[in-house]
């Protein structure tokens, strides 16, 4: 029996399905796809570098101008079933201008793979980045991660991962920005997108950031849009509270008026609060 938390079926769908909550979402997606194509014409990029065996286990690197640059590693959203790294390359420009090296990854999408398999792919992408990013001017000892929506969920699970078990430093990730994430996957069981995602109750303990807080304290920014649904904001607050209860100095940030799709654009908005905060986290 699915707990819809007192909502009707329709209202529950709206609370947890951003495409239902934001009627003009496609225009916002199209706008950043166009901005990304334009950015790729202006800045240097190295595309489709393979980090693993899956069909979509490839990533793009936007090199730093000088060696030893901090690395911004980004995981796109799309409810684990949609979107592409090329949709978000618009934000690489302000980061590289500021002196960062940028990595934007793809991963295989549901239903071709399960959510635990996607998490394993992101682990491989971070291992690859640590081992290879120096070739493009990045500092393997200064990797910062970010992600939006489903990408923020995956980023949260990377903070909970045992990196020493991979033969890497426990502090592989030096800081993180998790934008408007899916921190409580349980409601996904009750909305239409799960027909594609294929999440099961048996997976929840493995894939829930609320069951797996970060392993160590680190600079952690957790923004959410003030224009998001009440339940989406609530789960962000719940994750921040969990982090703080576990000694993690998470910084909650509510962006006034921003809906779910505006929060992706916030990664490249020099006039908004998110981009400057991430750059400051990186020491830029």
Check pLDDT > 70 for residue 1: no
Residue 150: is its pLDDT beyond 70?
A: yes
- Residue 273 maps to a domain: yes
**For residue 5, is pLDDT > 80?**
no
Confidence of residue 4 (pLDDT cuts 50, 70, 90): confident
In a domain, 42, yes or no: yes
Going from the C-alpha of 260 to that of each of 24, 197, 227, 231, the distances in angstroms are: 11, 19, 8, 12
Say what the pLDDT of residue 20 is: 87
What gap in Å lies between CA 269 and CA 251, rounded to an integer? 19
| Domain containing residue 232 | 9-281
The token pair that represents 198 in the structure block: 């294929």
Q: Is residue 1 in some structural domain? A: no
In a domain, 120, yes or no: yes
Which among 137, 135, 127 has a CA at the least distance from the CA of 67? 137
* Contact yes or no for 45/64 (Cβ under 8 A): no
Separation between Cα atoms, residue 228 and residue 175, nearest integer Å: 25
Number of domains in the chain: 1
User: CB-side exposure of 143: number of CA atoms within 13 Å?
Assistant: 26
E strands in 35-127? 46-50, 58-62, 69-75, 101-105
Does 46 map to a domain?
yes
Q: How many other β-carbons are positioned within 10 Å of the β-carbon of residue 135?
A: 11
pTM value surpassing 0.95: yes
Structural domain includes residue 184 = yes
**pLDDT single digits (tens) 10-50:** 999 999 999 888 888 899 899 999 999 999 999 999 999 99
Q: pLDDT tens-digit profile of 161-170?
A: 999 999 999 9
Q: Is residue 30 part of a domain?
A: yes
- Mean pLDDT of all residues belonging to the chain: 96
Strand partners, 145: 73, 176
For range 202-224, the mean pLDDT: 98
- Say which range, 14-23, 76-85, 223-232, has the weakest mean pLDDT: 14-23
Question: Could you tell me if 272 and 242 are in contact, meaning their C-beta atoms sit under 8 angstroms apart?
Answer: no
User: Is 194 among the domain residues?
Assistant: yes
Q: How many angstroms separate the CA atoms of 122 and 217, rounded?
A: 21
**199: buried, middle or exposed (CB in 10 Å: 19+, 13-18, 0-12)?**
buried
Residue 105: its pLDDT value, please? Answer: 98
CB distance 130 to 143 below 8 Å: yes
Span 125-139, pLDDT tens digits: 999 999 999 999 999
234's enclosing H/E stretch is: helix 230-245
pLDDT at position 3 over 80: no
> For the chain, how many residues are written?
284
CATH of the domain at 163: 3.40.50.1820
Asked whether 110 and 118 are in contact (CB, 8 A), the reply is yes
According to the model, what pLDDT value does residue 23 have? 86
């Amino acid at each position: 029996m699915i707990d819809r938390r007192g909502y009707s079926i329709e209202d529950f769908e709206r609370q947890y399905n951003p495409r239902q909550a934001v009627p003009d979402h496609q225009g916002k997606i199209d706008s950043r796809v166009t901005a990304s194509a334009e950015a790729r014409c202006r800045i240097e990029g190295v595309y489709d570098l393979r980090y693993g065996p899956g069909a979509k286990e490839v990533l793009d690197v936007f090199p730093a101008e000088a060696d030893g640059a901090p690395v911004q590693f980004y995981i796109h959203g799309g409810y684990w079933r949609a979107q592409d790294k090329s949709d978000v390359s618009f934000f690489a420009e302000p980061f590289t201008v500021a002196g960062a090296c940028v990595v934007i990854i793809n991963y295989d999408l549901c239903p071709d793979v399960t959510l635990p398999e996607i998490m394993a792919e992101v682990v491989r992408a971070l291992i690859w980045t640590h081992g290879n990013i120096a070739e493009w001017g990045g500092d393997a000892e200064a990797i910062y991660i970010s992600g939006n929506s489903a990408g923020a969920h995956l980023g949260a699970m990377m903070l909970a991962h045992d990196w020493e078990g991979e033969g890497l430093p426990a502090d592989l990730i030096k800081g993180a920005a998790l934008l408007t994430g899916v921190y409580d996957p349980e409601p996904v069981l009750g909305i239409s997108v799960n027909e594609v995602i294929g999440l099961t109750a048996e997976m929840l303990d493995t894939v829930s950031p609320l069951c797996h807080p970060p392993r160590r304290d680190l600079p952690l920014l957790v923004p959410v849009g003030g224009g998001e649904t009440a339940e989406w904001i609530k789960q962000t607050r719940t994750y921040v509270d969990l982090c703080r209860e576990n000694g993690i100095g998470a910084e909650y940030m509510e962006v006034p008026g921003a809906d779910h799709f505006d929060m992706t654009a916030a990664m490249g908005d020099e006039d908004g609060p998110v981009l400057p905060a991430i750059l400051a986290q990186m020491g830029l």
